[in-house]
Chains A and B, each alone.
Chain A
């Protein structure tokens, strides 16, 4: 009898503990996201974008399915996305949620992508947009919010931390330290202490190094920004300090442009060259950083000699590095979606610090949230003081102005043009 009582008590105890654990888990889950719709809600949500593969988003689908098991989400790649999204939105196959970019705003060519977007600033939708850094949230004329950033982007350099540690050097924080570190590495036999893609102007080494510096220079000068946006030829002068700084950078011998030219593209080739393990610093954008994890297994050199690495801002001024804070991919909700409630619910689920950090972590891109400390890859950008953060979005520089700047620095950097020629050509560069 005593045994029976003991067994019964034990069973009750285990049952109670299990119930408590389940309750705690459910409470924890509830703290992150509280569904608004009935859990039995069902529907098919299609999200369109330009990526071939969007596994990080599919991982979000899985987590969303924990709350809404009957909702099927699917990612569809749209060919020639930027040009086709308008057509897709106007067609029979319009997605419920679609990728958008802030640079599309205000351009007639992409007006469909903006006009089909629901205003996500509507408080009734319950999106936690406050968790996103205000720098990268699109500022529209009518204060509406047609898109919210899912990822952010920046320019910087991949740093081989293991190599720095091995050689007893510290990751540079100022331009002087950068030059010094490059010299030290060279002295230690490293032919290329710093490299980058220099073959084409798109996201070239020159842009990556100088654009944050340029933005810092014009950030507080409204006239300059207006002139630059207006393609005023006289606005070229605003580029002079930056172009001179870049020339100085090249003269200081931080990079060997001949070696940089061997890098075939600004993505795979950059990563795989960095994984060779003999380059302490490799300039690239956040987009390129997102591909590093997957390519670790494709690099025989990295597999043979793996090392620790991180992404840090390039210190181009005496005051230290500038964190160029840019939005990357953003999501819009198709206001004509037949599954608008579920689409909004998914957005409400996604636009939270936890999920945005999670998807950014999985994608390898920088999170748009205010706290970057969670990511060992991007944590260095979180350490940049407020004064060192600049955002083209905040400054108001348009994408067209950026294109002019990119061309100018590329031509000066490669030696095709002098600084004066490049300044004079501002507004006349074609993409």
Chain B
């Protein structure tokens, strides 16, 4: 997939997510806005109830006054005095107006005078017709906002009809009692209580749309005119709308005089005839700020970071993949080279074995030649085995499955063994060999002796191998104090006057199949794995290996290892005497399908007086154990790859036998499957050990002894 394509897909996903966030955010805002609109409508209804309560309470006061005046047959002056005495608030007043003359008395004096109480509504278009004033106590009788003729204040008045006694006419005169309240006093109370509705306005209109009370945000003298002035509508639609506004509770969107979108909430004032309370608020005031842009920003930045992180991670991954591909290619190439090398390295000794065998077959009568050829065949075979073992070792090391098997051993015996192994080669090549052993405070050490031997022998054999006859090889081994507690430091220095190594070769000499090519030495003398294995072993043992070499002059390898001292030293070390006679009489079942292998093992064990029976495959083996009972055999050597039933299945079947003795008979794998995973597989199947083919007699006997010892202990 092209990088551009991935980026485009990522961008599309990001944009899609952002669009979703914006859309969802918008949806949430719309829902929230709808809730706020409903809330505003409900608040307007609440304000209507508050307003109604207020109007009713004010009307009630007026009603009480009117009832008392009517029941007391007061004159206008008496009624004015009566009300004047009841005034509590400074800003309210009452007017008593004769319906005929539209003149009367006020309870408060005219502005700028102290005793002028005369009031006239002659020029105020308010009381020309008083039909709208209902009987006392039946409804709220409130005027429109008008100019109080006594003080010029815009006011409202609650009204009642009263009959005042006219002393001149000696009859009752129909008059109107007005409880006058300045609108400014009302405006202070008549506001939405919520802070978020600070810009909301309230108005009260009559059935014709004319304002009774007019808020600042309302315009014109009629709400209907106001609506028509700033909102597109036709007469039919507006007629229906105004009918709805004056007869029901609801809300509609509208545009105000500033051209801004508003919500108009309306609800009838039930205590009045056809009046409606209107609430008007800019729509933007109802929009709850949900910090959606913050959310959008965070999501956007998050996605961007994720995008770039993924981009860079992808680029890095690609780089790693490219490296891996190169490494895989290199490994593949190495494998090909390895197989090529193996083919060469295996064919070479095989050529010797097959060729010499053929020569020997044709000259069986020539005893000397036969013996000489068998010795050469044996050497070639050993070389082949070394090669195979080295391959196994390097496989184990590289897969990390090489496990150390530490045990107490004598370093002096190791050195002696080293000398005895090297002597034939030294003598053969006529090399001046010196072995210098320093003072060993701790003779017995605790590590994997086999691996230590491998290290020392590999280095020494290389030195001898690459030193020309007449040359010199020296070995120095000394013990020093170690930084690690309980350890001694063994410094092993092998110097030769051999062919030396080029710097180029030295840079790759620890890689498998690296061999110094020199015409002076046979090219098949080594596997090319020795140094690689040695280096890995040294690393595994936590040591260091250094090399100084000059081409044509010689090489010096220095190996330093910190090895734990064994708990027991020579004085308290007890040597178990190995007595092969104790193996005599043992009965071992060999599950082996290959006749030659059966013949070899049978012969080998027979030399120790061990009785062997053969099972041709796993099934026969299981049957024999089942039939023979638990104590029929001391041990089973089990090949793995066999017809009918393989060794692993046979082992599992034996372990499941009902006879507990038979089910627990020791089983040791004897197989050419020699890799570490094969060993693990065998042990997991229930086997007790593993011996790799070709079999080493010593290892076989050692394994038998181990099994026998364990059996004895248990």
Q: Which residues of A contact B (CB under 8 A)?
A: 44, 52-53, 55, 58-59, 61-62, 65, 69, 72, 74, 76-80, 83-94
Contact = CB atoms under 8 A, between A and B. Distances in A.
A88 B184 CA distance: 13
A77 B123 contact: no
B410 interface: no
Interface in B149-204: 149-154, 182, 184
B672 interface: no
A91 B111 contact: yes
Nearest to B154: A93
B216 A62 contact: no
B34 interface: no
B123 A62 contact: no
A59 B125 CA distance: 27
Nearest to B124: A79
A93 B153 contact: yes
5 contacts: A53-B220, A79-B126, A80-B147, A84-B149, A93-B184
Contact of A88 (B125, B147, B225, B258): B147
B219 A55 contact: yes
Contacts of A80: 123-124, 147, 149
A44 B216 contact: yes
A92 to B, nearest CB: 6
B182 A79 contact: no
B154 A65 contact: no
Contacts of A87: 111, 149-152
Those 6 A-B pairs whose CB atoms lie nearest each other, nearest first: A88-B152, A80-B123, A87-B152, A91-B152, A93-B153, A79-B147
B247 to A, nearest CB: 25
Contact of A79 (B112, B123, B217, B225): B123
Contacts of B229: 55
A76 B154 contact: yes
B216 A78 contact: no
B216 A83 contact: no
A292 to B, nearest CB: 17
Given A93-B153, A93-B154, A62 B259 contact: yes
Nearest to A87: B152
B257 interface: yes
Nearest to B229: A55
Contact of A89 (B152, B217, B219): B152
A79 B221 CA distance: 13
B161 to A, nearest CB: 21
Contacts of B221: 52-53, 77
Nearest to B235: A297
Contacts of B111: 87, 90-91
Nearest to A57: B219
A87 B147 CA distance: 10
Interface centre among A53, A76, A85, A93 (most CB of B within 10 A): A93
Nearest to B230: A62
Given A44-B216, A83-B123, A84-B147, A92 B184 contact: yes
Contacts of B91: 92
Contacts of B124: 79-80
B32 interface: no
Nearest to B122: A80
B153 A91 contact: yes
Nearest to A89: B152
Contact of B257 (A44, A61, A76, A88): A61
Contact of A90 (B149, B152, B217, B259): B152
B453 interface: no
B257 A58 contact: yes
B182 A92 contact: yes
Given A87-B111, A88-B152, A92-B91, 9 more contacts: A55-B225, A69-B258, A72-B216, A79-B124, A79-B146, A79-B149, A84-B123, A87-B150, A90-B112
A92 B257 contact: no
Nearest to A80: B123
B474 interface: no
Contacts of A90: 111-112, 152
A65 B216 contact: no
B152 A93 contact: yes
Interface of B: 91, 111-112, 123-126, 146-147, 149-154, 182, 184, 214, 216-217, 219-222, 225, 229, 257-259
Contacts of B112: 90
A240 to B, nearest CB: 37
A79 B153 contact: no
Contacts of B149: 79-80, 84, 87
Contacts of B216: 44, 72, 74
A62 B111 CA distance: 35
A55 B218 CA distance: 11
A348 to B, nearest CB: 21
Contacts of A65: 258
Contacts of A94: 152
Contacts of B151: 87, 91-93
Contacts of A61: 219, 257
B102 to A, nearest CB: 12
A55 B182 CA distance: 25
Given A84-B147, A91-B152, A79 B125 contact: yes
B220 A55 contact: yes
A262 B503 CA distance: 133
Nearest to B112: A90
A264 B416 CA distance: 149
Contacts of A77: 221
Nearest to A58: B219
A52 B125 CA distance: 12
Contact of A92 (B147, B153, B214): B153
A74 B257 CA distance: 12
A87 B257 CA distance: 31
A44 B149 CA distance: 24
Nearest to A75: B219
A334 to B, nearest CB: 12
B183 to A, nearest CB: 8
A84 B147 CA distance: 8
Contact of B222 (A44, A53, A93): A53
Contacts of B220: 53, 55, 58
Contacts of A76: 154
Given A79-B123, A90-B112, A93-B184, A53 B225 contact: yes
Contacts of B182: 92-93
A256 B694 CA distance: 148
Contacts of B146: 79
Contacts of A69: 258
Contacts of B184: 92-93
Contacts of A84: 123, 147, 149, 152
A2 B182 CA distance: 72
Interface centre among B124, B147, B222 (most CB of A within 10 A): B147
Contacts of A62: 257-259
B617 to A, nearest CB: 73
A93 B155 CA distance: 10
A74 B203 CA distance: 13
Nearest to A51: B221
A58 B222 CA distance: 13
Nearest to B185: A92
Nearest to B184: A93
A51 to B, nearest CB: 8
Contacts of B258: 62, 65, 69
A294 B436 CA distance: 131
Nearest to B123: A80
Nearest to B216: A72
B89 to A, nearest CB: 13
Contacts of B125: 79
A90 B112 CA distance: 8
Contacts of B123: 79-80, 83-84
Nearest to A74: B216
A63 to B, nearest CB: 10
B609 to A, nearest CB: 89
